[in-house]
Amino acid sequence: MTTVIVLTFGPFPHKNREGMIMHSHFKISSLAVAGLLALTLAGCSNPESPTSESGAATDGKDAIGVEVNQAAHDALPQKYKDSGKMVVTMSESSPPLHFISDDGHTTVGVDPDLAKSLGEAMGVEVTVESGSFDAIIPGVSAGKFDLVVSQMSPSKERMKVLDFVDYYQSGSGIGVAPGNPKNLAVDELCGVKVGVLKGSFQDLKRVPEASKKCVADSKPAIDVMTYPDMQAPILALSSGRIDAVYVDGPTLGYAIKQGGKVELLGEKDVTPVSIAFAKDAGLEKAVQLGLESLTESGRYQQVLDDWGVGSGAVTDFAFNKAQ
């Protein structure tokens, strides 16, 4: 059974002298990634000034404040205006994008920071519920979650049940054991044991496409091994149970940076990833306007830069642009 950790991030509303609703900003520090990755990180004594080992900013600059964007708030469906609340979900094992800190329950990373900031821009209080990636779509379909901020790639298949607004771009990273002892190549993984995150775009599309090409070329199919989180395939690679990992590029890069026993073989298919929500929920305009306001204020780029993934910023928050 998957354990779902629930935590509540701001915003904390108050009124300024002109009577405008404001939201105080609060940033969770980046902390250690531990467990199966066996990566050593240092904790942070000052939540506004994470240490460099965490992968976040170290210059001590304050987070850029986020004000309610009235147009984004007005574009929300009435139920969110009435409740002032929204539940956001994401997986919890893909550092630096989203992962559980060493306190064992706080979700930190790019996506929690962006989700909270987006909530502030739309004028709603965000609660994050993190769990396994493959439980996300069923949870949205059941009405448990309002938004998905989990580096999810839009696809025609997923668009049957979800709507998407692009918010970032990344590719798939292919990692091997240090020194590439099997002499693998990015486009030559036929017959190779490859680890992927269960339910990920690599699992559902990228690796099946590559494997299909292998078979068409009269070569053995890729031997796919699926895992519930991003830590497990890294461990499997280091112990020799698999020959390569095929995962989100930023996650693989972060593992390498923090000393994981993995080497980048190459990166492929850099494409947008999206914020998702239930089909026809009517959230696209509010999300787009909220992201645009975060871009204008500089907060969007600041979050990405703080976690060392600023190169993945996008300027087109496109709606339902399938890959």
- 156-186 per-position pLDDT tens digit: 999 999 999 999 998 899 999 999 999 999 9
Picking from 86, 89, 102, the residue whose alpha carbon sits closest to that of residue 4 is: 89
Residue 264 has pLDDT above 70, yes or no: yes
CA distance 259 to 278: 38
Are the CB atoms for 184 and 176 separated by under 8 Å? yes
Q: How confident is the model over 101-125, as pLDDT tens digits?
A: 889 889 999 999 999 999 999 999 9
Q: How confident is the model over 267-288, as pLDDT tens digits?
A: 898 899 999 999 999 999 999 9
Are the CB atoms for 88 and 117 separated by under 8 Å? no
Are the CB atoms for 200 and 247 separated by under 8 Å? yes
Residue 18 has pLDDT above 50, yes or no: no
The rounded percent of the chain whose pLDDT value lies above 90 is 63
CA distance 290 to 67: 10
Beta strand 193-197 pairing with 223-227: parallel
Fold matches, 5-170+272-312 and 172-270: yes
Torsion 271-41-236-107 (CA) sign: negative
The domain limits of the chain are 5-170+272-312, 172-270
Q: Is 172-270 CATH 3.90.1150.10? A: no
**Which CATH number does the domain 5-170+272-312 belong to among 2.40.30.20, 3.40.190.10, 3.40.30.10, 3.20.20.120?**
3.40.190.10
Higher pLDDT: 6 or 61? It is 61
Query: For the CA atoms of 191, 194, 197, 198, what is the dihedral angle to 10 degrees?
Result: 30
According to the model, what pLDDT value does residue 323 have?
65
Across 58-62, average pLDDT: 58
